[in-house]
């Protein structure tokens, strides 16, 4: 046996705990993890891959990468209204860099602890670059998961938080501007809207998380629901940081509409539930904004406050799009 063996590595940084964690019968240390799904619950699963140089700049702090690798999955669970319980992690690394591993696991586990997620398994391999695949597992009461399909003509369209911050941070970094503080966190430590998703069960008619820009992701709701939408562009929530950097942007709404990595929720509610929703979100201190309405005519139409039509440049981020 060599010192830096695969097994030692896994043990040292990703100690799978078999004792802690809801429903964890057996964590690491065997060929499979064994898990128990409580009666009356459905299991929600989602898998995401992050690649060095594609999904995060090479300069990104290891702890931010660890945090985000889990956060993007939790955001998927949030959009279905599921409570996160378990994660698995496949990590491909060019070699063993203990400082990087320490940072990565610190970021990953800080979010895991905060959200009550147990890491129950995974794989570690050596490859020419860092590739991280995380599968998240959540529980949702039977038949109550939020879905993309379900938006009806007349439903109001909402988003949580503010849009375009992460895309702005990335844009500024690519321009050579240093980005720190709140704006940097919006890119590197997205807050999955897990509580909001759970609260929307029975209230929202459709829900999705915004990972590829609100136009693309609302587009998925419309496609799944067989509907169209009218967007009121000037109601798109923009942070004060976004507004402060506006001069740097060629076009005010582009990043807020079609930038990636927001990890806010976009959801629809029947119009008669507007007051109930806004009371709930206000009471909890959760920002949300009504940005449009579902229409029967297919397609997505954007308007400015003066009633003029606005035509976005591109619809969203696509990993396989050619340049």
Residues forming contacts to its own copies in the complex (CB under 8 A) are 1-2, 4-7, 9, 25-26, 29-37, 39, 42-49, 51, 54-55, 76-77, 79-80, 82, 88-90, 92, 96, 120-129, 131, 133, 135, 137-138, 140, 142, 145, 147-149, 208-209, 224, 315, 318-322
Rounded to a whole number of angstroms, the minimum distance from the CB of residue 252 to its own copies is 23
- And the tokens for 82? 């599921």
Rounded to a whole number of angstroms, the minimum distance from the CB of residue 210 to its own copies is 11
Nearer to its own copies, 130 or 184 (CB): 130
Nearer to its own copies, 3 or 180 (CB): 3
Rounded to a whole number of angstroms, the minimum distance from the CB of residue 39 to its own copies is 6
Nearer to its own copies, 308 or 320 (CB): 320
Nearer to its own copies, 215 or 238 (CB): 215
- 10 Å CB burial of residue 282 (0-12, 13-18, 19+) is exposed
B/e letters for 297-323, b = 16+ CB within 10 Å, e = fewer, are: eeebebeeeeeeeeebeeebeeeeeee
Rounded to a whole number of angstroms, the minimum distance from the CB of residue 24 to its own copies is 11
Rounded to a whole number of angstroms, the minimum distance from the CB of residue 270 to its own copies is 20
Q: Look at residue 133 and give its three-state secondary structure.
A: strand
- Work out the widest C-alpha separation in the chain, in whole angstroms: 72
Nearer to its own copies, 5 or 297 (CB): 5
Measured distance CA(72)–CA(70) in Å, rounded: 6
Confirm if 21 and 86 have CB atoms less than 8 A apart.
Answer: yes
Roughly what angle, to the nearest 10 degrees, separates helices 98-115 and 62-80?
30
Confirm if 129 and 53 have CB atoms less than 8 A apart.
Answer: yes
């Amino acid at each position: 046996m060599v010192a830096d063996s695969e097994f030692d590595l896994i043990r040292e940084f990703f100690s799978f705990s078999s004792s802690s964690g809801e429903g964890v019968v057996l964590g690491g240390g065997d060929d499979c993890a064994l898990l128990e799904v409580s009666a009356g619950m459905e299991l929600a699963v989602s898998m995401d891959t992050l690649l060095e140089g594609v999904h995060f700049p090479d300069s990104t702090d290891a702890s931010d990468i660890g945090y985000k690798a889990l956060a993007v999955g939790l955001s998927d669970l949030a959009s279905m209204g599921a409570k996160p319980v378990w994660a698995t992690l496949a990590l491909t690394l060019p070699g063993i860099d203990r400082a990087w591993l320490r940072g990565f696991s610190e970021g990953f586990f800080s979010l895991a602890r905060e959200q009550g997620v147990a890491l129950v398994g995974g794989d570690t391999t050596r490859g020419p670059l860092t590739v991280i695949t995380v599968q998240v597992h959540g529980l949702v009461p039977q038949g109550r998961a939020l879905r993309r399909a379900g938006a009806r003509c007349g439903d109001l369209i909402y988003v949580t938080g503010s849009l375009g911050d992460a895309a702005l941070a990335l844009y500024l970094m690519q321009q050579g501007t240093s980005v720190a503080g709140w704006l940097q966190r919006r890119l590197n430590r997205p807050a999955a809207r897990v509580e909001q998703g759970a609260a929307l069960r029975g209230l929202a008619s459709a829900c999705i998380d915004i990972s590829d820009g609100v136009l693309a992701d609302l587009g998925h709701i419309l496609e799944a629901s067989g509907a169209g939408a009218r967007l009121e562009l000037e109601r798109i929530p923009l942070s004060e940081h976004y507004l402060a950097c506006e001069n740097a942007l060629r076009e005010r709404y582009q990043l807020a509409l079609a930038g990636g990595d927001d990890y806010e929720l976009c959801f629809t509610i029947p119009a008669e539930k507007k007051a109930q929703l806004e009371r709930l979100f206000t009471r909890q201190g959760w920002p949300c904004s009504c940005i449009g309405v579902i229409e029967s005519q297919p397609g997505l139409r954007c308007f400015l406050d003066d009633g003029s039509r606005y035509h976005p440049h591109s619809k969203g981020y696509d990993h396989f799009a050619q340049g």
